[in-house]
Amino acid sequence: MPLITESYDSLPYVDTHLDEPSLAAAQAVINADIKSAGIDTSALHPALIPAARYNPIFSDFVEREHARLDDNPASKLSGIDLKRYEDLEAPENTDPTSDEDKPELLERWNTALKQAYTSSEYVQGRLTQLGLLEKFGKNAWLVGNSQLEDILKGIEAELADVRKQQEEVEMIRRSRQENVHGEITTLEETWKKGVGRVLETEVAAEGLKQQILEKRRAGAV
């Protein structure tokens, strides 16, 4: 079990914001390091699971409609023949005794009769639906609105709860970072002083080395 259970890799409330040149210089160093390591950033990490590609399967009718729309996007749906619901025109009248001599006219009358039955059933179903809509439509609409309002209230309550949790997390994060701000500042100053002392020691050692070399040269002479 690790002893360190918290990470302060990102300290937005403590660290000072870098300017654009500093960010660009840091990014250039990172890119150079990645390039020198031979890492291919375009390929995914082997530990990542590749996403499964979804290939939809459509019926023949839908595929034909897709092809039709690809050929002419402005075209309309032609799967439903609306002519059967339009006003029907009766074929011409004939003498009842002469119908047997004109079978094609009888076929036209049979077709018109079938279309009339179809139109009658459609109109009857439409009237039934309109009657039900007039009788129960208002209540169904009100009930539907009430259900949608309940769903909306639930979503708004959930959103408010999430926002509250976010604010609490931000407050805790800010408090923890501000609590360690003094310690981080002290450590940073100590580090700077240590680096400065190391540099001073190296400069003094280099100066002492030069003095020794000069004395040796003078003794040799």
Residue 68 to residue 57: CA distance in whole angstroms: 17
Question: Is 185 a residue whose pLDDT tops 80?
Answer: yes
> Region 26-35: what's the mean pLDDT?
88
Contact 115, 88 (CB under 8 A): yes
- Could you tell me which residue, 9 or 200, shows the higher pLDDT? 200
Residue 105 to residue 95: CA distance in whole angstroms: 11
**What HEC string does 152-216 produce?**
HHHHHHHHHHHHHHHHHHHHHHHHHHHHCHHHHHHHHHHHHHHHHHHHHHHHHHHHHHHHHHHHH
What's CA 107's distance to the chain center, in Å? 59
Among 29-33, 108-112, 180-184, the least confident range: 108-112
- Residue 168 has a CB neighbour count (10 Å cut-off) of 10
Residue 186 to residue 136: CA distance in whole angstroms: 75
Question: Is 150 a residue whose pLDDT tops 90?
Answer: yes
Greatest mean pLDDT range, 9-18, 99-108, 109-118: 109-118
Closest by Cα among 80, 78, 79 to 118: 80
Q: Write down the domain spans for the chain.
A: 185-221
pLDDT at 144: 92
Contact 36, 197 (CB under 8 A): no
- Could you tell me which residue, 205 or 216, shows the higher pLDDT? 205
> What would you measure as the largest C-alpha separation in the chain, in angstroms?
151
Average pLDDT over the chain, rounded to whole?
83
Task: Please name the residues in contact with 22: beta carbons below 8 A apart, sequence gap of 6 or more.
Answer: none
Decide: pTM greater than 0.75. no
pLDDT tens sequence across 35-81: 888 777 777 777 777 777 778 889 998 898 888 888 888 777 766 66
- Name all contacts of 158-166 with Cβ < 8 Å and 24+ positions apart: none
Provide the total of helices (H) and of strands (E) in the chain, helices listed first. Answer: 4, 0
pLDDT tens sequence across 71-108: 888 777 766 666 666 667 777 776 655 556 677 777 88
